[in-house]
Amino acid sequence: MSTGQPIIVLVKPQLGENIGKAARAMLNFGLTDMRIVDPRDGWPNPSAGPTAAGADNVLEEAQVFATTAEAVADCSHVYATTVRKRGMTKEVLTPAAAAEDMAAASGKCAILFGPERSGLELVDVELARKIITVPINPEFGSLNLAQAVILVAYELSKLDGAETVQPTIETKKREPAKQIELDQFYEHLERALDEAGYFYPPDRAPATKVTLRNMITKPAWTNEEVQTWRGVISALEKPFVKK
Amino acid sequence: MSTGQPIIVLVKPQLGENIGKAARAMLNFGLTDMRIVDPRDGWPNPSAGPTAAGADNVLEEAQVFATTAEAVADCSHVYATTVRKRGMTKEVLTPAAAAEDMAAASGKCAILFGPERSGLELVDVELARKIITVPINPEFGSLNLAQAVILVAYELSKLDGAETVQPTIETKKREPAKQIELDQFYEHLERALDEAGYFYPPDRAPATKVTLRNMITKPAWTNEEVQTWRGVISALEKPFVKK
């Protein structure tokens, strides 16, 4: 099922009931593409069906992936939903602003939702270009998974009608590189830096790697740009001119 | 508790769990005034507390009435939420339009939500001046009570707190690096690439340099990020580990 709609990605969901509720929330607003990353209780999960309340199709067509990176490999725009402040330099959008952003985007969009209890891990947020945060009562933040999904789906559906009015205006903008190309670039960069002795002292390496990844996911480079960067790194790694 | 906020009126709710969920949905968006009309299982209902997930205050302060008419007696504007078309002559609003309507209204506003299974009866809808309908997938209308409440509460909070809630969520965004820092980074990169023999063949160098510059100005990196990139280039240029 390829609808061109944003894809809802549930990262490590715990309860099947909540996966079902998320499916129901999605279908209420016409979203049908669900991807599930490493569900705690495996998949399919018999607890999901009853709470889907008829949105069985969404569950049946859901794709399961081992890692978040694989789940969004073919997506050009990845959004992470978070409630907490992360002190990150990524752009933070409301659901309404994110819906507009996605409507204007070329290429597939994916929206990451974290596990019920803990939310997205830093390593998943790193994959995202932008962050979606629901502006919530600061003294009582208690949105559950399906509620977060429904608010985002609702905002997307609001634009749906408006979107069809102006299809010809968008000139062929170059699509941002797919997530998998960024991953490969990052791996290349990390390997090169590792060989160059860049990650020193070792205990600071994890934080440095987070920074690097965030710097790479931020710009929405095109495929050509990513290839250029890879050329840059290769050249520095193995100079054509001997020093 | 008189907050001047719209009042959420649950008409003949069936399950205590759903009353708790509605309270939680409300408080997420700062609504605290709940009224309950003729709850099936009486009130207080011990099943409500756990699903309120901490929104106990809303439940404790909830007022109970025997009839819908009594519950909204002191309200100047009554809205009925329905999913089905009723063939009525009342104005039908989306949640967003209703929120604007309420923000502009003087006097207390109340929003009626019907029982889980059947929705509002005609006699309750009659009390309302206007109708709120969530524009939902026509082939799959399956909003539950708490979801209907949360969408309305969310829209209300967007108008209400648009100014006050937002700024705390947006963490202090780091300013993008100044152009001079980008220039210095570019010069550093170009020098390193030149020494590595990257610009070959020479007649293609000008175009390649334009590409590189564009890639660097695109992301709006912060100063810290630019410094990190410079560290990356330096490391590759002069590896700490000899190859």
- The whole-angstrom distance between B191's CA and the closest CA on chain A is 11
Question: Does the residue A213 lie in any domain?
Answer: yes
> Are A136 and A23 within one domain?
yes
Sheet-wide strand order for B77-81? B63-65, B34-37, B7-11, B109-113, B77-81, B130-132, B91-93
Q: Are strands A91-93 and A130-132 parallel, antiparallel or unpaired?
A: parallel
- B124 & B174 share domain: no
Question: Which stretches within A112-218 are classed as H helix?
Answer: 122-125, 145-163, 179-195, 205-217
**Residues B84-128: pLDDT tens digits?**
665 666 788 999 999 999 998 877 899 999 999 889 988 888 888
Looking at the domain assignment, is residue B243 inside a domain? no
Measured in residues, chain A has a length of 243
- Among residues A158, A183, A211, the one where a domain terminates is A158
Q: How far is residue B243's CA from residue B241's CA, in Å, rounded to a whole number?
A: 6
Shared domain check, A193 and A141: no
Q: Tell me, yes or no, whether B150 and B176 share the same domain.
A: no
| Min Cα–Cα distance to chain B from A66, Å | 30
Instruction: Quickly state the pLDDT bin for B159 (edges 50, 70, 90).
Output: confident
Do residues B62 and B35 lie in contact, with contact meaning Cβ atoms separated by under 8 Å? Answer: yes
The domain boundary residue, chosen from A158, A184, A217: A158
Residue A84 shares a structural domain with residue A140: yes
Q: Is residue A163 part of a domain?
A: no
Same domain assignment for residues B61 and B146: yes
Count interface pairs A-B at CB distance under 8 A.
169
The predicted model gives A163-170 an average pLDDT of 32
Are the Cβ atoms of A158 and B135 closer than 8 angstroms? Answer: yes
Domain that holds residue A73: 7-158
The answer to whether residues B113 and B189 belong to one domain is no
Count the domains in chain B: 2
Q: Binning pLDDT at 50, 70 and 90, where does residue B141 land?
A: confident
Backbone phi and psi for residue B206, each to the nearest 5 degrees, phi listed first: -55, -45
In a shared domain, residues B151 and B226: no
A10-28 pLDDT, tens per residue?
999 999 999 999 999 999 9
State the smallest CA–CA distance between residue B217 and chain A in angstroms. 9
A211 contacts B240? CB cut-off 8 A: no
Does some domain include residue B67? yes
Mean pLDDT of A208-212: 88
Are B161 and A30 inside 8 Å of each other by CB?
no
Is B196–A239 a contact, with Cβ atoms under 8 angstroms apart? yes
pLDDT for position A98:
95
CATH no. for residue B60?
3.40.1280.10
Residue B163 maps to a domain = no
| Structure confidence by residue, pLDDT tens digits, A26-47 | 999 999 999 999 999 999 999 9
Q: Do A200 and B29 touch (CB under 8 A)?
A: no
Helices (H), B72-222: 95-104, 122-125, 145-160, 166-169, 179-195, 205-217
pLDDT band (50, 70, 90) for residue A219: confident
Question: What are A54's two structure tokens?
Answer: 């008829």
The average pLDDT across A36-65 equals: 96
Could you tell me the CA-to-CA distances from A213 to A24, A35, A122, A126, A183 in Å, in that order? 34, 23, 11, 6, 9
Q: Are residue A229 and residue A181 in the same domain, yes or no?
A: yes
The CA-atom distances, in angstroms, between B202 and each of A155, A243, B197, B199 are 51, 19, 10, 6
Integer angstrom CA distances of residue A127 from A7, A71, A122: 15, 11, 9
- The residues, any chain, with a CB within 8 Å of residue B187's CB and separated by 6 or more, are none
Residues B84 and B52 in one domain: yes
Average pLDDT, chain A: 86
Residue in B25, B54, B236 nearest the CB of A196: B236
Q: Are A154 and A203 in the same domain? A: no
Query: Which of A6-20, A128-142, A159-173, B169-183 is the most confident on average?
Result: A6-20
Q: Does some domain include residue A184?
A: yes
Q: Are B157 and A137 in contact (CB < 8 Å)?
A: yes
- The answer to whether residue B83 sits within a structural domain is yes
Same domain assignment for residues B150 and B72: yes
pLDDT of residue B239: 78
Of chain A, the end-to-end C-alpha distance in Å amounts to 54
Q: Is residue A90 part of a domain?
A: yes
Average pLDDT over residues B180-190: 87
Pick from A88, A219, A228: CB nearest B211: A228
Q: How many residues are given for chain B?
A: 243
Average pLDDT over residues B193-203: 88
Among A69-73, A144-148, A170-174, B121-125, the range scoring the smallest mean pLDDT is A170-174
Cα–Cα separations (whole angstroms), residue B12 to A191, B32, B43, B124, B126: 63, 19, 11, 11, 16
Average pLDDT, stretch A169-186?
Answer: 72
d(CA B209, CA B44): 72
- Which range is least confidently modeled, A64-68, A158-162, A169-173, B205-209? A169-173
